[in-house]
Amino acid sequence: MRSSFRSGRHLALGAGLLGLLFSTAACDKVGGGDFAKTKSGIEYKIFKKVGSKYERRDISGDADPTYKDRVGKFLTAYIDTRTGKDSVLESTRTKFQGALVPLPLQEVKRKGTPEEAFALLMPGDSAVFRFNADSLFKPQGPQPPRPVPPFLKKSGNVVVLHVATRGLIDQAAAMTMQQDLQQKMMAEQQRQMMAFAGEQLKKDDAALQAYAKSKNLTGLKKTPSGIYYTVTTPGAGPLAKQGQTVTMKYTGMLLDGKVFDSSDKHPGEPFSFPLGQGRVIPGWDEAVALLNKGSKATFLIPSTLAYGQQGAGADIPANSPLRFDVELVDVK
């Protein structure tokens, strides 16, 4: 447990993605009519825009003879991935903040896949493709079988793609677009992490206040980040500073009283670390800097500054605010 405590910053910074919900307006306008079907089993409806309306475009001969002129290029598009019951699993417009994504147009080697479906499209088309989930999840070559997720089976055992295309670009433009999309995705992930952290911090703060009241902890101060602390025995000298090596005694516990780690469990091995260098959970880097040599204190740290959504092993569940009773033994 001690090693996981020391690496807690990495655990605390992780976050899972939230579900993405979106409806592509252009795709919704072209949803009527029956599906046509390719020889490989893809059900499709393809529409071209004529003025302000969409007209059905059927593919004769089960392929587009002009596709050879587009091979090696990229089709820009918006894509929704949905279940058979029209629940949106992912939307590129939401995921990438409204940006188009590049679809590579290559020689079709796998029939019945999105690769073949995209080969049927031209710039300006809007389409709906429906794939049998068993076929999509069927392994290619020696890979082990991949089971179809139960929620897909319950929703008709199909995967539905809604695609709205715009234009053709070359490889250089696609690479530039992909770099921009990566930045947008990272920004969206950061936004979602911050939103989740804000909500979790509210829950943690309520739990820490209730805990402090139940334990009659008095004289607590609160930092702007949400850490509660009280110095039970004052030390002497200046406060510990970033970059200095501090040596600590500590006991860490959950709010239910369960001790998950203590320096007493590691006799003869003082716990020392450089302050402010990310070697411990963020709450420790911040709170230890409030102490000077010889200080004893109690820290109440929200989960967002501890082990976050991941928790730490079997001892610290996800989203757990923590208590630490500490002593700053030495500062170098």
- 47, 129, 250, 271: which is the annotated catalytic residue? 250
User: Is 96 an active-site residue?
Assistant: no
Is 324 considered catalytic here? yes
211 given a catalytic annotation: no
Q: Among 125, 204, 261, 285, which one carries the catalytic annotation?
A: 261
State the maximum Cα–Cα separation within the chain, in Å, rounded to a whole number: 86
285 a catalytic residue: no
Sequence-ordered list of residues with C-beta below 8 angstroms from that of 128, at least 6 positions apart, any chain: 27, 30, 31, 35, 44, 45, 160, 161, 162, 163
Active-site entry in 260, 271, 285, 316: 260
Give me the catalytic one of 42, 79, 281, 301. Answer: 281
Round to the nearest angstrom and report the end-to-end CA distance of the chain.
Answer: 25
- Report how far residue 20's alpha carbon sits from residue 154's, in angstroms, rounded to the nearest whole number: 20
**In sequence order, which residues have a C-beta less than 8 Å from that of residue 48 and are 6 or more positions away?**
54, 55, 57, 122, 124, 125
For 198, phi then psi, to 5°, come to -65, -45
Distance CA 42, CA 156 (A): 15
- Tell me how far apart the alpha carbons of residues 93 and 115 are, in angstroms, rounded to a whole number: 20
250 among known catalytic residues: yes
Angle at the Cα of 317 from the Cα atoms of 219 and 253, rounded to 5 degrees:
35
Catalytic, out of 54, 299, 307, 316: 307
46 is catalytic: no
**Positions marked catalytic:** 250, 260-261, 281, 307, 324
